[in-house]
Every structure is written in structure tokens, then in C-alpha cells.
A and B are shown apart, each in its own frame.
Chain A
Amino acid sequence: MGHAHTSSSDAGHAGQPLVGHLVAPWILFATGGALIVLTVITVAVRYVDLGEANLLVALAIAGLKATLVSLFFMHLRWDRPFNQLIFLSGVVFVVLMMAFCLMDTSQYRDSQYIGNPADVQAVLDKDAPNAPIAAQKSPDLP
């Protein structure tokens, strides 16, 4: 999606730095403005009840903002493809780690519940009504 502009031949172009890519201020200001607008939107959708979709919408907006920051503020749009690949691979591996860890959560042993006794009892009552807290504690918890 980009082409490397980092060669010393750029030095000859008027107004261009010796290395790297010059991003016009209007692009930077437009990016900043878009980020502020998206922040307002993400706060606003908090008050719209979409159920489970609220989290997905919030993550989608955050992802869009992150894309804007990396493409324009961080010049990734014009950076070397190898740098783009490196950054993207980092994101991919986080997603991979996230996916595998979440798959595993159903295998966890019983939790220990900490809180006000009545609330803890209410949670435990779902599994074994009227059993006291002490009897329900997982045997190998401290």
C-alpha cells in the first residue's frame, strides 16, 4: 500500500527532506480532526444500548482510530513495506494470542469469589442452593 521514499535522491526535490517522507500539514490536521470526531462518536454510542454489539462497535472505532494514527501520524502509509509488515505482524500475533487464550477460558477451574458475603452467597447459590460459603470453596484454594 505504500512505496518507499527513503532514498537520498529525494534530497534534490524542492522542500523534501534528505530522507523519509514529508506529510502535508493538512493531512495531519485532517487526521487529528477525524480522531476527535471518532472519540465523540465512541462516547456517544456508549449511551445506545446495542447489547453485545456495543463492545464490537467500540473496538471497531478504536481500530479505525489506530489505523488512522499509524497510517498518517506514523507515516506508515509512505514507509517501507518491510516496516509495514513488521508492525502488522505484531498486531497479528496479539490477535493470535488473544484468540487462543480466550478459547482456553472455559477450561479454568472454579474461581474464588471475593466480595460482600451476601453477594458471594448469591453467586454460589446458583450452583448449590443454600450451601454455606465455606463448603463451596474449592478444596485446593488457600
Chain B
Amino acid sequence: MSAHAPAGDHHAADGHDDHGHGGGHGHHNAEYPFLAHHFETPAQQFDSAKLGMWLFLVTEVLFFGALFVGYAVLRNRYPDVFTYASAYLDTTLGGINTAVLILSSLTMAMGVYFAQTGRKTALVVCLWLTMAGAAGFMVIKYFEYTHKFHVHLVWGEGFYKPVTDDGGLQSAELSSKAPVPLAPAQTTMSAGTVTAQQLAMPAFVQMPAGEQTAIAPPAAGPAGMAPAVIDAKAAEHAADPATHGDEALHLEDAAMPPNTHLFFAIYYAMTGLHGIHVLVGMGVIGWLIVRAGRGEFGPKYYTPVDLVGLYWHIVDLVWIFLFPLFYLID
């Protein structure tokens, strides 16, 4: 963009040159070194770039739109699941992230203002603030995700697997041939017609972690007595991989509606795609910081700042819908 456009072979087209700058393209390019050779005026170049950016943003709207449709279909089919599972999301963290993104959108918009008015230092400061907002958002998102991974609030099969000692997914499948112990509440519910044999159901139906064994978790050894502690840990490990049941509360919860994992599938799909957009945003904002530091932007030319700003606002806009649709269901 910053290279001087070759002027020579364009004088033939000067018949169209009605923008009143006179003197031909040579003078023109000296005045607007950022002007690409295939544009007549800075305004034409700016408008073309903006048109392209808006078309791209529409594809982004449709991209996320398809996922919002998926969300709507799932919520329409399983309203209980969404009401129930939303409680597992941290409204405080989600709310903080909403505010962080809004403020970073504000600093981005101010960045465009300072680029338009040629305030280089203020522009760089605004871009750094926007970058900080993006990074803060991702850090909070990281804590949210890792906590959910740890307690198996994940998509798919892992959602129904108890948490093992090492916190990873339990690799061994529950044997469908083994008799399934029924808790008293469950036997009464089905009026005794459901036998353990009939409950030898497809592997995807998993028992709650706490019901796999009747062996109570061993008491921990006294503090300071190493052998006892080791024994306790070993016994704990051997007896029941699910003694960390307090970490996967959803498996213990009799009120959990079937197919609750679908909520987390769409949650990770949508917030994950949004998170990728935030990371891409950090990349292009970093690129702007470098270019702004070189003083490449000013009242005559600030198109990249403007377009990255539009992208960043779309990322904010998507989150504005994600936040209430996932975190605020009651």
C-alpha cells in the first residue's frame, strides 16, 4: 500500500481523470503515496475497501448466524437442558468479559478517531488498550474452559464419564455386562420393571459416578504420617476412580435432564469460534500497532485501522448475543 504506484502506463486512461487534481498521476501519487495504481482517488480506494469489508462482515454474520440457528433448534428441542445447564456457567466471569469487550470496542473506536485526526501516540495507546482487552478476555475464557474441562463439563461422551484421579477422561468404558446397581430412588421410579439386565443399555448411557460402587471412599490418613497418606491415596485410587465426585457434580445430580451435554457442545462451538476470532483480532491489532508506530496512519490514510475496527466491533457484537443466550438463562 505504501509503495509508490507506477504511473507510466496510466496516462492513457487520463481521459477519465476528472477528480480535479490536475498534473496527472505523477503529482497525484506524490500527494497520496498510499494510493494504489488502480484507484483514481483516495475516496474511491477507501470506499472500495469498506465495501469489501462489509461484504466480509456479512459472511461473518452468516457464519455465526448458522450456529445461532443450531442453538435455536437445540434450545427449542431441549428447553430444560438449557435452563439447567446454564447454571454451570459463571455469570460473573461472563459479565466481566462482556464489559471487557465493550470497553475494548470503545478504545478501538477511539483509536479510529485518533487515526483520523493524526494523533499517533494516542492511536498507539488505544490500540494497546484494545489488545489488553482482547488478552484479558482470552485469559478469563481460559480459566472458564480449563475449569469446565477439569470437571468434564464438555461436549460428547466425556461429559458422562467420571473424573479420575489424574483429572483426565476415564479411558475404560463401563462394562455394559456388569450388573448395574440401582439406587433405591431409581427402582421405585420404574416400578420394578427395569431390571439390571434390561438396563444393559447402549454404552452411551452412563451411570452417575457416585453409583458405580458401594464402597465408601477411605478416610485420609493422619497428616504428617507419610505411609498412611500413601496408603490412603492408593486405596482411594483402587477403590473408586470417582471419589473426586465433588468435582463432577453434574453426574451426581438426579435433576440433570437427559442430553445435557448438547448445551456444552453448542457452548464450546460458539464461544470457541468466537474465541478464535478474538485471537485473530489480537493478531491484526498487533499488526496495526507496528504500522501505527511507524507513523503510517493519519487523516489522509487510516483505512486499515478503520477496517480492523469494524472487524473488532463485529466480534464484540457476536458476544453481545452469546452472553445472554448462554449465561443468562433461568
Chain A residues at the B interface, C-beta cutoff of 8 Å? 6-8, 11, 15-20, 22-23, 25, 28-29, 31-32, 35-36, 39, 42-43, 46-47, 49, 54-55, 58-59, 61-62, 65-66, 69-70, 72-75, 79-80, 82-83, 86-87, 89-91, 93-94, 97-98, 101-102, 105, 108, 111-123, 125, 130, 132-134, 137
Contact = CB atoms under 8 A, between A and B. Distances in A.
Ordered nearest first, which 7 A-B pairs have the shortest CB separation?
A94-B65, A115-B258, A90-B58, A32-B106, A19-B46, A58-B324, A132-B198
Contacts of A36: 99, 102-103
A117 B180 contact: yes
Interface in B243-260: 251, 254, 256-260
Contacts of B205: 114-117, 120, 133
B190 A29 contact: no
A121 B54 contact: no
Q: Is the interface of A mostly helix, strand, loop or mixed?
A: helix
A94 B64 CA distance: 9
B184 to A, nearest CB: 11
A25 B224 CA distance: 63
A111 B259 contact: yes
Contacts of B50: 6, 79-80, 83
Contact of B201 (A79, A87, A105, A117): A117
Interface of B: 19, 41-43, 46-47, 50-51, 54-55, 57-59, 61-62, 65-66, 68-69, 72-73, 76-77, 91, 95, 98-99, 102-103, 105-106, 108-110, 112-113, 116-117, 160, 180, 182-183, 185-186, 189-191, 193-194, 198-202, 204-208, 251, 254, 256-261, 299-303, 306, 309-310, 313-314, 316-317, 320-321, 323-325, 328-330
B28 to A, nearest CB: 11
Nearest to A135: B198
Contacts of A55: 329
Contacts of A118: 182-183, 185-186, 189-190, 254
Contact of B61 (A7, A61, A82, A91): A91
Given A28-B106, A32-B105, A54 B330 contact: yes
Nearest to B201: A133
Given A86-B55, A102-B72, A115-B205, 17 more contacts: A20-B46, A36-B99, A42-B324, A46-B324, A47-B330, A62-B320, A69-B316, A73-B106, A74-B314, A94-B69, A97-B65, A115-B259, A116-B206, A116-B258, A117-B186, A133-B194, A137-B202
Nearest to B95: A43
Contact of B160 (A97, A98, A115): A115
Given A7-B43, A69-B313, A108 B261 contact: no
Nearest to B193: A130
B159 to A, nearest CB: 9
B204 A114 contact: yes
Contact of B62 (A18, A43, A94): A94
B259 A113 contact: yes
Given A43-B95, A115-B205, A122-B189, A18 B313 contact: no
A121 B193 CA distance: 11
A59 B329 CA distance: 12
Nearest to A95: B65
Contacts of A70: 313, 317
A32 B189 contact: no
A119 B254 contact: yes
Given A94-B62, A116-B254, A49 B330 contact: yes
Contacts of A114: 160, 204-205, 258-259, 261
Given A29-B106, A32-B102, A98 B61 contact: no
Contacts of A28: 106, 109-110, 113
Given A80-B50, A87-B54, A117-B180, A101 B69 contact: yes
* Chain B CB within 10 Å, residue with most, of A15, A28, A74, A94: A74
Given A28-B113, A97-B69, A86 B54 contact: yes
B51 A39 contact: no
Contacts of A25: 110, 113
A115 B207 CA distance: 8
Contact of A132 (B41, B54, B66, B194): B194
A94 B54 CA distance: 16
